[in-house]
């Protein structure tokens, strides 16, 4: 199974780029975040024309939204909600015997203070609830993938400057601690860092605000693919498709690819 996750930052706007990603990376399963399209307007035919006869989507107008496009049949489709909100951030479906979780964690705003910033408080509560849910669900032995935009860069090498970003949302100690707690919930294995040493700088997101993102290279690794321990020995390769950031009208995130021997 070749799985790709990508925060597309508006599916309908970037349908041409989606076609390029599919042609370049040839995924079997594609997890999308920030689709920004309500379910009645989801471009189902366009996705099927790209070679994905099986599609699950969970979206709303204007923001958020997640989708799973698959060449493999999808079943047991679920859409959990967190923090008493129905904001379309989590989609689960089984594909080829693997439970695929497509996740979009709240960004959290700009102020890293839950008292002063309700959006940051929501992000922290979201991560706490999610970790508790996975921990209580158990079943760490089942083959599962958790993929998406987690909006947290956990390692010092996941950001361009660990020191300068310690008080910037996405890399604050409290966010990192909560993401680590989520990872421990089922013993999730970071598929990308299983191949790329944690000492090596690695990013999946570059701000639109940078006048020359490639030269400045002030990125963050916000997009992740985790697998349950039973799948860890079956990981075959990974790729962060950095070149996609240079395409016309790109997302500020790039696709992340993981090959899994899921047979």
Backbone CA torsion sign across 199, 123, 226, 259: negative
| Residue in the structure block whose two tokens are 């679920």 | 78
CATH top-level class of 2-260: alpha beta
Looking at residue 172, its pLDDT comes to 98
CB neighbour class for 52 (10 Å; exposed up to 12, middle 13-18, buried from 19): buried
Question: How far, CA to CA in Å, does 231 sit from each of 3, 60, 84, 201, 263?
Answer: 13, 32, 32, 25, 11
pLDDT digits (tens, 9 = 90+) for 42-90: 999 999 999 999 999 999 998 999 999 999 999 999 999 999 999 999 9
pLDDT digits (tens, 9 = 90+) for 163-189: 999 999 999 999 999 999 999 999 999
Looking at residue 211, its pLDDT comes to 82
**Mean pLDDT of the region 15-28:** 98
| Residue in the structure block whose two tokens are 């923001």 | 63
Query: Which sequence spans correspond to the domains of the chain?
Result: 2-260
Q: Across-strand partners of 66?
A: 33, 58
Lowest mean pLDDT among 8-22, 37-51, 110-124, 134-148: 134-148
Q: What is the pTM of this model?
A: 0.97
What is the spatial distance between Cα 147 and Cα 100, in angstroms, rounded to a whole number? 8
Closest CA to 126 of 92, 90, 172: 90
């Amino acid at each position: 199974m070749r799985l790709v996750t990508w925060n597309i930052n508006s599916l309908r706007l970037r349908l041409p780029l989606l076609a390029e990603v599919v042609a370049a990376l040839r995924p079997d399963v594609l997890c999308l975040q920030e689709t920004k399209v309500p379910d009645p307007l989801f471009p189902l035919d366009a996705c099927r024309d790209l070679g994905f006869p099986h599609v699950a989507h969970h979206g709303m107008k204007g923001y958020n939204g997640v989708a799973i496009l698959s060449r493999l049949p999808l079943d047991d489709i679920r859409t959990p909600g967190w923090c008493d909100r129905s904001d379309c951030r989590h989609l689960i479906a089984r594909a080829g015997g693997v439970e695929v979780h497509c996740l979009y964690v709240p960004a959290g705003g700009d102020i890293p203070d839950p008292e002063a910033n309700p959006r940051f408080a929501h992000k922290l509560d979201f991560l706490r609830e999610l970790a508790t849910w996975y921990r209580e669900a158990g079943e760490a032995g089942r083959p599962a993938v958790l993929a998406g935009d987690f909006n947290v860069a956990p390692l010092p090498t996941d950001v361009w400057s660990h020191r300068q970003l310690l008080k910037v949302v996405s890399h604050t100690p409290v966010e990192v601690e909560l993401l680590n707690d989520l990872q421990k919930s089922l013993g999730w294995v970071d598929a990308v860092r299983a191949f790329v040493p944690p000492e090596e700088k690695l990013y999946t997101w570059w701000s639109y605000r940078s006048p020359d993102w490639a030269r400045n290279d002030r990125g963050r690794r916000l997009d992740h693919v985790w697998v349950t321990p039973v799948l860890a020995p079956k990981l075959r390769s990974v790729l962060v498709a950095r070149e996609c950031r240079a395409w016309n009208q790109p997302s500020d995130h790039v696709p992340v690819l993981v090959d899994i021997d899921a047979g």
